[in-house]
Amino acid sequence: MRFVRPALWIVFGWLLSLQAGADVFPRDDIVTDPAWNSYTVCYAHGCGSLGHVSLSEEQWGQVRDILLPLADTAAEERQRIRAAIALMEKFSGIATGTWRDKGGTFNFGIDGQMDCIDESVNTSLYLTMFHKHGMLRHHRVVDRATRGWFLFGWPHTTAVIREVARNARWAVDSWFLDNGEPPFILPLEVWKKGWKPGDCEDCRAMVPEKAN
């Protein structure tokens, strides 16, 4: 292992911290207390680039209309979360050039492309914004989760929400999808086993519709 570059050791340490439950963001200048008129968007792999975005009142009103009035059930709220994140991605994509992002690929050298680190950070911060503005009743934002290791499989990271009533955790994974498509939301324990789109026959509830 003495031939492994120091940067790789940094990545190993960062992944270990995620597995241990500490949500460590890849940059110190990420806005971790986001508001609709001041937030950051990661892109270019591992948050290599950081965009600063401010939505208009009209744009934020469209997001708010998806989540308010508050959902009656946790299942309904998860579907609304998917639609709200899709819309946030569209608005952020226009502002930062990440509308070019293609799902399930790294596409190194393509402007606006995201990896799972970018996607999970952005999704977590969108969710944090929703909660901060009182638009979530049944879920709370918790630390991101990582599965896989360099020695045993390529690592993959997702945003995570906790369902309050059942204390159940759900993966909110945008990486498999193009910019502006509603993310997959599925039980975290299923996701951790290596789930990917098409792995099961009864995944219709997890399959995203195209965003309007």
Consecutive 10-residue runs of the chain (212 residues): their mean pLDDT? 37 45 84 97 94 98 98 98 98 94 76 91 98 98 87 82 98 95 97 85 45 34
Predicted local distance difference test score (pLDDT) of residue 104:
81
| DSSP per position, the chain | -TTS-HHHHHHHHHHHHHHTT----S-TTS-SS-BTTBEEEEESSTT-EEEEE---HHHHHHHHHHH-SPPSSHHHHHHHHHHHHHHHHHHHHHHHSGGG--TT---TT-TT---HHHHHHHHHHHHHHHHHTT--SSEEEEEEEEE--TTTS--EEEEEEEETTTTEEEEEE-TTS-TTSPPEEEEHHHHHTT--TTS-SS-TTTSPPPP-
User: For residues 121 and 212, what is the distance between their CA atoms, to the nearest angstrom?
Assistant: 24
User: For residues 153 and 133, what is the distance between their CA atoms, to the nearest angstrom?
Assistant: 38
- Whether the CB-CB separation of 119 and 180 falls below 8 Å is answered with no
| pLDDT tens-digit readout, 136-181 | 999 999 999 999 865 556 789 999 999 999 999 999 999 999 999 9
Predicted local distance difference test score (pLDDT) of residue 53:
98
- Whether the CB-CB separation of 116 and 123 falls below 8 Å is answered with no
Angle at 148 between CA 166 and CA 174, to 5 degrees: 60
